[in-house]
A and B are shown apart, each in its own frame.
Chain A
């Protein structure tokens, strides 16, 4: 029996604002518990919410970048449930009139190649606080610093067919959101959270199977693993004659297993209704257009441009466009007059290592440009340039100064080269004889000997003509 997996994802990302969604408290982390709180996010009697314009702007940008239709009118709704870290007894969210709907993004599926994944909706809401179960003996401790943090919830269509596709979707989504500076999408710090809906069906079936929701994954790799585990569980269950129940499963990364979450009896009647404290969120076309104009070039467009305009191979273009900072760095190097493929080689082979380690580029584009220019005009060899790049990352010394200090400047002076050539020819009379007898490939041997004699400093491009001249004169 072959099974098809159907996966849809709900992703919550924290919007990069200074203040909370509905009050003026700071969103910064690491503060003492319950210190970034005010009457509004504590849910005190008499407090009222007022929405943060930047949160709306960032969510709008995200929606536009995901190809969604942004609605001129959307409605804040109350989602009612009791939980100790939910101060008001309801969460302000959006329900039947969300900010944006009907988007799609293109992902690179490991199994199916490039394909579009639908984005059902994007809406804004506030986060709950944090419940800590290990701080107080026998008690759960509640910290409301996070309560009211602005979130965008992005719901995909059930368009993914494997855990690997789910991961690819997340990777692309994160790229886009980071590009737009909507969210830093840091899963470890909780600024991106994923809930996955998964079901299985027999290949060829058009009806969806009963889905389960999988939660508690702290990395994209864990999302993939959790979905693999849950898929296997569902298949084993159905194949042994059981039925999948609609439950929420919690992933335990250490044990690589999923377990059903205990659910309270009345868990799924949230009694959504429009929040009477908040008039409709009405956005003008002009305002939405302004958010559109504020969007940067997105990764997919950038990759296309790197290929089409700059002539890069697809692999290079893909690697460079995946991260906005990398793409910007690459373009800054090109702006120094470096040919695109050369710049790409330098960025991908050399500069990325430091960026991945330090999170920033240690060599300014101007200095890399200057180094490439030294290679171009023959001052240093390619090999020497790699060494110099390592030095550039360590300090602020100019490339030429480093080349000189390390004795890496190539010798192109005809007199010096002539002397080394003469010495090599004098020391190898047999080979000279054979060359003159027609073994033209020995030119490589002589070049190598000259390089050796020069201690690597001779400019290889200038040796051959000199050799040919001297051997011909012989």
Chain B
């Protein structure tokens, strides 16, 4: 399985990464080699229903429903790039641009 130019552009769009035209050939080559490298896994026989590995506890610990947030030691305006009137601000989106 090799990676094509269109694949790189497609995942770059999904990942919202700007890829310069000049960087494309090199990226296609590098990603192609990485994908070829990880595709070794196809050699491993593993049944379809083999369980996935679980790194942590077998069951999530739940939190009691209490209002107890970790507090912010300083204000959002200390780190937000644009924070007028207590809002994060971004270039205007139309009401027709859906979130999902």
Structural contact, A18 and B67, CB atoms closer than 8 A: yes
Q: Name the interface residues of A258-284: CB closer than 8 Å to any CB of B.
A: 259, 261-267, 269, 271, 274, 276, 278-282
> Does A128 touch B at the CB level, under 8 Å?
yes
Q: Name the interface residues of A37-79: CB closer than 8 Å to any CB of B.
A: 37-40, 42, 47, 50-56, 76
Nearest to A54 among chain B residues (CB) is B65
| Known contacts A25-B69, A128-B99, A279-B56; A50/B86 CB under 8 A | no
| Known contacts A139-B90, A282-B60; A17/B65 CB under 8 A | yes
Q: Name the interface residues of A1-48: CB closer than 8 Å to any CB of B.
A: 17-19, 23-26, 32-35, 37-40, 42, 47
B85 proximity list for chain A (CB < 8 A): 33, 135-136, 141
Interface pick from A81-89, A184-192, A421-429: A81-89
B52 proximity list for chain A (CB < 8 A): 274
Chain B interface mostly: loop
Binary contact track B46-62/A, C-beta < 8 Å → 1, others 0: 00000010111111111
> How many angstroms between the C-alpha atoms of A278 and B54 in the bound complex?
10
Nearest to A33 among chain B residues (CB) is B86
Structural contact, B88 and A84, CB atoms closer than 8 A: yes
Structural contact, B54 and A280, CB atoms closer than 8 A: yes
| Known contacts A51-B63, A271-B14, A282-B58; A38/B97 CB under 8 A | no
> How many angstroms between the C-alpha atoms of A279 and B59 in the bound complex?
5
Nearest to B55 among chain A residues (CB) is A276
Which of B68, B90, B91 meets A24, CB within 8 Å? B68
Binary contact track B68-89/A, C-beta < 8 Å → 1, others 0: 1111100010000010111111
> How many angstroms between the C-alpha atoms of A457 and B52 in the bound complex?
83
| Known contacts A132-B87, A269-B14, A278-B60; A18/B96 CB under 8 A | no
B99 proximity list for chain A (CB < 8 A): 81, 83, 85-86, 128, 131
Structural contact, B10 and A266, CB atoms closer than 8 A: yes
A135 proximity list for chain B (CB < 8 A): 85, 87
Structural contact, B67 and A84, CB atoms closer than 8 A: no
> Does B22 touch A at the CB level, under 8 Å?
no
Structural contact, A56 and B62, CB atoms closer than 8 A: yes
> How many angstroms between the C-alpha atoms of A215 and B86 in the bound complex?
29
> Does A133 touch B at the CB level, under 8 Å?
yes
Structural contact, A38 and B71, CB atoms closer than 8 A: yes
Q: How far is the CB of A135 from chain B (nearest CB, A)?
A: 6
A42 proximity list for chain B (CB < 8 A): 76
Structural contact, B14 and A248, CB atoms closer than 8 A: no
| Known contacts A269-B14, A280-B58; A50/B63 CB under 8 A | yes
For chains A and B in complex, what number of residue pairs have CB atoms within 8 angstroms? 150
> Does A143 touch B at the CB level, under 8 Å?
yes
> Which of B58, B65, B69, B93 is packed against the most chain A CB atoms within 10 Å?
B65
Nearest to A271 among chain B residues (CB) is B14
Structural contact, B84 and A38, CB atoms closer than 8 A: no
Structural contact, A281 and B87, CB atoms closer than 8 A: no
> Does A382 touch B at the CB level, under 8 Å?
no
> Does B41 touch A at the CB level, under 8 Å?
no
> How many angstroms between the C-alpha atoms of A132 and B62 in the bound complex?
33
Interface size class of B (residues with CB under 8 A): 35 or more
Interface size class of A (residues with CB under 8 A): 35 or more
| Known contacts A26-B67, A266-B14, A279-B57; A142/B87 CB under 8 A | yes
> Does A144 touch B at the CB level, under 8 Å?
yes
> How many angstroms between the C-alpha atoms of A33 and B58 in the bound complex?
38
Structural contact, A34 and B71, CB atoms closer than 8 A: no
B71 proximity list for chain A (CB < 8 A): 38
> Does A444 touch B at the CB level, under 8 Å?
no
Which of B64, B91, B100 meets A139, CB within 8 Å? B91
Structural contact, B87 and A136, CB atoms closer than 8 A: yes
> Does B94 touch A at the CB level, under 8 Å?
yes
Structural contact, A280 and B69, CB atoms closer than 8 A: no
Structural contact, B63 and A24, CB atoms closer than 8 A: yes
> How many angstroms between the C-alpha atoms of A27 and B64 in the bound complex?
14
Nearest to B62 among chain A residues (CB) is A53
Structural contact, A38 and B13, CB atoms closer than 8 A: no
> Does A384 touch B at the CB level, under 8 Å?
no
Nearest to B75 among chain A residues (CB) is A34
> How many angstroms between the C-alpha atoms of A315 and B68 in the bound complex?
47
Nearest to B63 among chain A residues (CB) is A50
Structural contact, A266 and B94, CB atoms closer than 8 A: no
B-side residues, CB < 8 A to A, are 10, 13-14, 16, 52, 54-72, 76, 82, 84-100
Other contacts beyond A261-B96, A265-B13: 20, CB < 8 A: A25-B67, A26-B67, A42-B76, A50-B61, A51-B63, A52-B63, A52-B65, A53-B64, A85-B99, A136-B84, A136-B85, A140-B90, A141-B89, A261-B98, A266-B10, A266-B14, A274-B52, A278-B60, A281-B60, A282-B60
Task: Jot down 8 A-B pairs with beta carbons below 8 A, ordered by A.
Answer: A19-B66, A40-B70, A52-B62, A81-B100, A84-B93, A140-B91, A140-B92, A280-B54
A-side residues, CB < 8 A to B, are 17-19, 23-26, 32-35, 37-40, 42, 47, 50-56, 76, 80-86, 128, 131-133, 135-136, 138-144, 215, 248, 250, 259, 261-267, 269, 271, 274, 276, 278-282
